Structure formats: structure tokens, C-alpha cells
Structure 1
């Protein structure tokens, strides 16, 4: 790989000669490939026992695994069932260190395409409120798909800048993940295009964005709450210096030392340009590609002091602008198709409507009216002319036992590939909506029609031949 000379010179300035040589040599090595098991659907031990793949544990997360470069996990039915997320191993560290708990209010502020979002959601076990945001409308589309594919049912997806979110969610969240946009130096092996777009000017531009994002995040965190800042770059300006500046401007925050796994290093206080070396920074962590099986990452775990001034928010009760009659077809569908589903009995969620779409939305939120919403909860389906049509997202958040009519393919059945390609499948099944599964895990919907299944698999999700 041809590394930009300016980047090479920068790293030579920051690193000792021996370490610099090891660092540069790492670019000649194959990068590590990883996947993370979706604990919303299956526990890691059960997954490993179910497959005969060569999987080696990623040390810093209980659900992450390395897999061989020759393996293509996206070409397996389990991928379409959302049983795992293909993720660079070092990128699994931020959500693992933040470690959200079921029932908490959590924000993923720079969330697209959704890898860390799904990891946060799995840790929350469907309990609590997960707000996921990206300010790029095109990237939000990928974020929504991954939230839905992985069966996340307690998420609100927004498309906003941090300042607008902070107006709605002051002092609201227990934990916030800021996986900040950065110059991407740590991803050169994974995404070679990052090499072409890198420049010292890009570092300066990213620093401005990072400063503003952290400022907005600080406003949204409750006293005693945790904020995890991460980048995939080596630049001290975006890492140690950014955190030192944040701490100077926000004295109500402190660094929580991150436990180091093998190959991890403490942040470099001397890189803050503070003549006395900023000791606060030593509790942050760096992952280097010449020291771990993964790419470059920087992590800083911050806590807002418990005695910090609290900011209140107003809980909002949605006004029901729809009539029960409009939802009648939805309730009929649930009664006939999902007799064992318990989703409507929890006091943590409420059925809501937006235009013709039906959602199961978390309660306990402020008013979301000022925000651009991509999803206001779990999209269950649409009501069309008094007829309810379930969504792909609805299927992915269910379990096989919820449904009255199920067709369950084995993973090696050719019909499962036909189904995810959107083709008609010949099977004898009763009339009505059918939950299609692979080895017991939902894939989507079909409609029984005599000796065939009318395929209702979402067009945007279909199996693509090729890589």
C-alpha cells in the first residue's frame, strides 16, 4: 500500500524509530476479518456450536470473532436472518467499553451504518430507549436497514445535527456513544479510498466537527452518565488533544480509566502538547494495527460528575390522531397471525401511527416533533384501505414461536436462497400470512396460496449474486 508521504512523516514525528518501523510494516499484512454475533437472536456459544466455521474470539468483546479471509459470511442465510454483523474487530471495542444496560436511555450520536448501534442494542436486550442518529440522510438509509435486519425493537432513528438533538434531549441519556467522524487513518487497510482522501487539512476539518459533536453530547448526558468518544484515526489532534480540550471546557467531566487488553496502550499524555503532560489522558486507550489483530482506534471513556447541574426535559404523551377503527386491521392481523406475540402487553411501548404506518414506540420520550425522524420506533407495517400489511422489520423482531403459520427452511435447503432472492417458492401451506424462517430464525413474510408461497421478502434486502 502506498502511504501518503505527509502521513508517513507525521507518524515518524510521533513514534519512536523502532515503533514507527513496526507500524509502517503492518500495512503489508492482511487485515483481520471479524463478525459479531447478534445476542438479540442467539447467544455466542449457541452460534459457535451451530456452525462449523473457523472462528477465533476477539478478546475485547464476548460476541466478536475473527474469521478467515477466504470465508464469505454475507453469502449465508444466517446473515439474512440477522444472526451476525460483519464488523472490523477493533470497531467492536467502543460499544463494548461503553457497556449499556437493559432499561437505560442510550444515544448513538454518529451511528451510520449501524454496526455499533446493533451492538448497543444487543447489550440492552430490547429494554430501555435507544436513540440512534446520523446527520447524513443517505447514510441514515443504511442505518435503518441494519436496525431492522438485526431485530432492534426499541430504537428511534433520527437524522439531525447534535445541537438540534440537544434541544430536545437535555440531560436525558444515561450513556452516549460518539464514534466521531475523523480523518480515518486507522482504516487505510480496510478502506483504501481513505488513503486517497487523506490530508492534513482533513484533520483540521474533522477537529472542528468533533469539537461541536462533543459539545452537543455533553448537553444531553445526565449527571453521573457515561460518554464514550472514539475515532479510527491516529492523529493526536483528533484524540488526546481533543479530549484534553474537552475536559478544559467541561470541568464537570472526568476520564474513567479504560482497562487494557493485550496489545492495547494507554493514551499518550505527551501528545497533548501540554508542557507538563496531561495526566488525565493516560486513562484513555489506543489500538494499533502492529499490536492487535485489528485496525487503528482511539477510545476515551468520560463520566459526567454526579454533582453536575441537572437539566430537565419534559416527557411527552403522544396525541392519538388516529381512531381505533384505523388500527382494527392491525389487531385482526395480530390475533390471526401472531397469537403468541406478547408485544402489545408491555407498558414500555405503545402503538402509534404516522400517516398510514404503524409503529411500536418506546414511552418516556420528550416530544420528537422538532426532529427529522427516519423511524419513531419499531415499524410494524402499513394500513392500506383497511388492510394491514406487515413490514420486513416486524418479521425480524419476532421469534418463530410467535406465529400461527411458519415455514422453516434448513440453511442448506435451496429454497431458502430462492426466498431471499425474491423468487416464488413451491410449498404446501395454509392461506394467509406466513412467517418464513431459516433454522428457526425469521427471514421475512410470505403469503400462502395453495401449493406455493407468494414471496413478500423486501426488494431492497434481496440476495445479490456476486461478491
Structure 2
């Protein structure tokens, strides 16, 4: 362990430093968060046998004694839960988004906080999630689709592009900024190896730039949460104090929660923020909640112009859907469904605008996997499989079950996990090849 880092922690924690050192040598705590877009907690507990202990950081968060490979179980692939370090859920708990709000997650990959926000929006309102790195943005998209979030726009951009496309558009903004990762030292050896004073200082500069762009996206009267998974004051209290000095219409809000502890008081009420140390049952987090002066007003933004919904798609939806999406968008034979209108995104690199439902191919509509995974979609034709057949399905094997011809939603414990097409004698497997179990 870097001696300079330990000296800084000793100066910061004083009498609690020995307790921190002791916890630093303990294994990192693992956890899951039940995804209530897909399954109720009661149904989750009735159909799984995880060794869980309630976490204080989120309503549906738990410490979990999980083994490697749990990410390839049918329950995880179906989106029943998200594997998440328990205290990482604290930032969204403190943000506290409500159904109907428009929310931005500026630095969103891999998606744990985005999917938590989506659950709390309860399929009402709009969530825009962004990740600057293309590879991580693809992982973000996969997690959004796996967890069934239907009202989500996924972008792959620099924060400067987001602020240009969405000026003062959002009721809430989460800025979970890239950081030096001091709170992940028990979890990630790479974070320990990369630590240096220079890296901390570079992170602080980058965080200030990201905060500036996040500010531009927030409505007057809106709420922003800034969070990191590091201990350095340069990236936490000092960063927020500098931000408020440069944006005098932003003010820290006291955080009323039962976890963690007050941050350090460097003036400007920086002690209103919250810190979580390993001694507090987590890894390491800083969370600041800020309010922007003014009154919230309804967002106005240009709507994307759509082609008419093709007859092939309309007939398919009429046959399969219990209820239609409120909005559809069609471009180049690709069909999207939305809970919100399809807003213009400027010059942003758009990975997904709400739900990609499928496309017209050779005068037929071919549904996407995302259509079946969307928690908003309710199906007329369903097939419920037991675990043995679910595993076969997720391996891409043919299921020799007799059904009427047509498309069906495949379910596990009543939750849709994908689609199949019946020819009357067998079910043609449509589970995506890149997701199949090996």
C-alpha cells in the first residue's frame, strides 16, 4: 500500500485510523440490488436462495454472499437483480428521483446507478444516461436493456455535447464522476497500483469540468448529486466548494439518511455532504446534494420527426402486445417504442432512444431482444419455462414444445427473458448469440 496515501488517511481519520486499517485488510463487501422493474421483492425471495443481509444504503439493496459466476445465472440474465457494491447505491438513494421526473446520469457506465434511477422512476418520466468511453457505453446499454428500462436514452458523448443538446432540461442530474478510486482499494488491485498525488489532482480537474457541464443541464429549481468513490478532499469537499464559488446559484442541501457520516467542514457547508468509510459498512463514497436557485418548470424540447408506423409492425404489436407504447418512432425501417416523446438529441451519438423494438425485413417485422426484455411490454402470448428448459434456452438450444404458430415471450418465474418463434412443432430459439451461456 502506498505510504503517502496511508499518511493522508491517518491525518484525515485521526483516532479512527487503526479501525480503517483493520477494515482495509478485510475482504470487500459484495451485494445485490433487487430490480423491481422486473420482479417484486416477495417473488424474488420466493424463487431464489441467496444468502442476503439487508443493506442500509438502498430500499432493495442487500449484502450478499455471492460466488463468481452468479452473473451467468438465469436470474441475473433475466434482470431480477443487479450485482452492486452495497454502498454504491447510496448516491441514488440520496438523489431520490420521483416518477415523472426527467433525470440525467452524466457518467453512467456500467449502469448500476442508472438502473437504480430507472426503478425509482417506475416507468414514468425520462432517464438520459451517458458514457464517454465507447466500450463502457456498450456495457451500459446491455445493462439498461437487461434490467428492462423502457424510458431511457443511452448516449456515448463528452459531457460538453450533453450540455449543448440538453440545456436546463433536467429536474435532476447525477454526476458520479470518475475518480482516483481510493474507496475501491479493497475491491480492485488496479486502483491501488494507479494511485498517486498527481492522479488525484488530475481527477479533481476533470471532475470540475464535468460538474460545469452537468450544471448547464440542470433546470433552475433542480437537484444535483455529485458523488465519488474516493476519500481525497481534493476530489470531494474541495471540489464542491470550488464549484459553488464558481456557481453561486448552487447550494448544498443537508442529507437526512441513517448511513455514513457528515463530510468535513471546509466552509460553505461542505459538512452537509456525506461520507462512507469501510467502518460504515461500505467501501468508500462521498455524496453531495445541491439545489439550483429558481423554480422548476416543464421542459420544452423539439420532438424528432417520425415516419408512419409500418403496417407490418402495427399488425405484430396488435397480435402480441397487451397494450401499445404511447409513442413510436420509425427511421430506416427500424422501429422504436417510447413512454415519453422522442426528443431531439442534437449531435449526440445515440445508442438507444427508449426501446428498440425491431425492424422491417423483407416485408416482415422482426422483433428485437430488447422488445422482450422491456419491463413496459406486456404480452398476450407467453410460455413459462422451468429452470432446466431456461438453461437450454439461454444456451441457444431448440425447445421441442408444441405451440400454435407465432411469436411467444419466454418467461422464467413469470418474468420475460426473451422470445421464441413457433412453427407448430418446436420453438425456434431467438436468444441473442452474444448473450448465450457457454
* TM-score (norm: length of structure 1): 0.89
Question: Are residue 408 (structure 1) and residue 384 (structure 2) matched?
Answer: yes
Name the SS of the counterpart of 1:407 in structure 2: strand
1:409 Cα deviation after fit: 1.0
User: Is the 8 Å Cα contact of residues 405 and 430 (structure 1) preserved in structure 2?
Assistant: no
State the partner residue of 1:273.
Answer: none
Residue from 246, 250, 266 that aligns with 2:262: 266
Question: Are residue 360 (structure 1) and residue 348 (structure 2) matched?
Answer: no
Name the SS of the counterpart of 1:427 in structure 2: coil
- Pick which of 141-150 and 185-194 moved more: 185-194
- What whole-Å deviation, never above 9, does each CA across 1:201-244 have from its counterpart, x for those lacking one? 11111111100110011111111110000000011100010011
1:147 Cα deviation after fit: 0.7
State the partner residue of 1:458.
Answer: 432
Question: Are residue 139 (structure 1) and residue 136 (structure 2) matched?
Answer: yes
Question: Are residue 303 (structure 1) and residue 280 (structure 2) matched?
Answer: no
1:404 Cα deviation after fit: 3.4
State the partner residue of 2:392.
Answer: 418
State the partner residue of 1:250.
Answer: 247
State the partner residue of 1:292.
Answer: 280
Task: Number of aligned residue pairs: give it.
Answer: 438
1:336 Cα deviation after fit: 2.0
- What whole-Å deviation, never above 9, does each CA across 1:264-317 have from its counterpart, x for those lacking one? 111111xxxxxxx4151111000001x222210000000101269x9x975213
Return 5+ residue gaps in structure 2 as ranges: none
State the partner residue of 1:52.
Answer: 49
For 2:393 and 2:66, the matched residues in 1 are separated by 27
1:418 Cα deviation after fit: 1.0
Residue from 301, 326, 335 that aligns with 1:315: 301
1:130 Cα deviation after fit: 0.6
Question: Where do 1:101-140 residues align within 5 Å?
Answer: 101-140=98-137
Name the SS of the counterpart of 1:174 in structure 2: strand
State the partner residue of 1:14.
Answer: 12
Name the SS of the counterpart of 1:204 in structure 2: helix
Residue from 88, 92, 102 that aligns with 1:91: 88
User: Is the 8 Å Cα contact of residues 304 and 342 (structure 2) preserved in structure 1?
Assistant: no
Name the SS of the counterpart of 1:15 in structure 2: helix
State the partner residue of 2:225.
Answer: 228
State the partner residue of 2:270.
Answer: 281
Return 5+ residue gaps in structure 1 as ranges: 270-276
* TM-score (norm: length of structure 2): 0.95
User: Is the 8 Å Cα contact of residues 317 and 324 (structure 2) preserved in structure 1?
Assistant: no
User: Is the 8 Å Cα contact of residues 44 and 62 (structure 1) preserved in structure 2?
Assistant: no
State the partner residue of 1:329.
Answer: 312
Question: Are residue 39 (structure 1) and residue 36 (structure 2) matched?
Answer: yes
1:69 Cα deviation after fit: 4.2
Name the SS of the counterpart of 2:420 in structure 1: strand
User: Is the 8 Å Cα contact of residues 81 and 149 (structure 1) preserved in structure 2?
Assistant: yes
User: Is the 8 Å Cα contact of residues 315 and 365 (structure 1) preserved in structure 2?
Assistant: no
For 2:101 and 2:365, the matched residues in 1 are separated by 32
User: Is the 8 Å Cα contact of residues 260 and 266 (structure 1) preserved in structure 2?
Assistant: no
CA-based RMSD = 2.0
For 1:7 and 1:382, the matched residues in 2 are separated by 54
For 2:200 and 2:410, the matched residues in 1 are separated by 48
State the partner residue of 1:65.
Answer: 62
